[in-house]
Amino acid sequence: MLMQIPIKLERAMYVEGGADAQLYINTGKEEHEFIGSYSTGLREHDQNTFSHPIPNVLGLIRVKQQ
Protein backbone atom coordinates (compact mmCIF):
# COMPACT_ATOMS: atom_id res chain seq x y z
CA MET A 1 0.00 0.00 0.00
CA LEU A 2 2.72 2.52 0.93
CA MET A 3 4.76 1.88 -2.18
CA GLN A 4 1.66 2.60 -4.32
CA ILE A 5 1.21 6.15 -2.94
CA PRO A 6 2.62 8.61 -5.51
CA ILE A 7 5.29 10.14 -3.24
CA LYS A 8 8.39 8.37 -4.65
CA LEU A 9 8.91 6.42 -1.43
CA GLU A 10 12.23 4.59 -1.41
CA ARG A 11 12.06 2.64 1.88
CA ALA A 12 9.40 1.54 4.35
CA MET A 13 9.42 -0.45 7.59
CA TYR A 14 6.55 -2.42 9.10
CA VAL A 15 6.23 -1.64 12.81
CA GLU A 16 2.70 -2.39 14.06
CA GLY A 17 -0.74 -3.60 13.09
CA GLY A 18 -4.30 -3.75 14.31
CA ALA A 19 -6.55 -1.00 15.61
CA ASP A 20 -3.65 1.05 17.01
CA ALA A 21 -1.82 1.18 13.67
CA GLN A 22 -2.12 4.46 11.79
CA LEU A 23 -0.55 6.35 8.96
CA TYR A 24 -0.92 10.12 8.72
CA ILE A 25 0.44 12.07 5.75
CA ASN A 26 0.31 15.84 5.43
CA THR A 27 2.25 17.36 2.55
CA GLY A 28 0.81 20.84 2.89
CA LYS A 29 -1.22 20.19 -0.27
CA GLU A 30 -2.72 16.81 0.62
CA GLU A 31 -3.72 15.20 3.89
CA HIS A 32 -4.39 11.47 4.35
CA GLU A 33 -5.15 9.42 7.47
CA PHE A 34 -5.32 5.63 7.48
CA ILE A 35 -6.48 3.89 10.67
CA GLY A 36 -6.00 0.21 11.52
CA SER A 37 -8.83 -2.25 12.01
CA TYR A 38 -9.75 -4.90 14.55
CA SER A 39 -8.78 -8.42 13.55
CA THR A 40 -8.43 -10.29 16.83
CA GLY A 41 -11.19 -12.80 16.22
CA LEU A 42 -13.11 -11.28 19.14
CA ARG A 43 -14.48 -8.10 17.58
CA GLU A 44 -13.35 -8.06 13.96
CA HIS A 45 -14.39 -5.16 11.74
CA ASP A 46 -12.94 -2.46 9.48
CA GLN A 47 -15.04 0.39 10.86
CA ASN A 48 -12.51 1.89 13.26
CA THR A 49 -12.78 5.70 13.09
CA PHE A 50 -10.85 6.62 16.26
CA SER A 51 -7.21 7.66 15.88
CA HIS A 52 -4.93 7.67 18.92
CA PRO A 53 -2.23 10.29 19.53
CA ILE A 54 0.73 9.10 17.47
CA PRO A 55 3.63 7.94 19.70
CA ASN A 56 6.17 7.40 16.89
CA VAL A 57 6.80 10.13 14.35
CA LEU A 58 8.97 9.98 11.26
CA GLY A 59 10.04 13.22 9.63
CA LEU A 60 10.71 13.42 5.92
CA ILE A 61 12.78 15.88 3.97
CA ARG A 62 12.44 16.49 0.26
CA VAL A 63 15.67 15.60 -1.53
CA LYS A 64 16.73 17.63 -4.56
CA GLN A 65 16.87 15.50 -7.68
CA GLN A 66 20.14 15.62 -9.57
Q: Name residues whose C-beta falls within 8 Å of residue 32's C-beta, 6 or more positions apart in sequence.
A: 5, 23, 24, 25, 26
Give 45 or 4, the one with higher predicted confidence. Answer: 4
pLDDT of res. 29: 93
Q: What is the mean pLDDT of residues 3-13?
A: 78
pLDDT in tens, 9-65: 777 777 767 767 778 888 889 998 887 776 666 665 566 677 767 666 777 777 777
Read off the pLDDT band of 7 (50, 70, 90): confident
Tell me the CA distances in angstroms from 17 to 6, 7, 9, 56, one per residue in order: 22, 22, 20, 14
Residue 44's pLDDT is what? 59
In eight-state DSSP terms, residue 28 is S
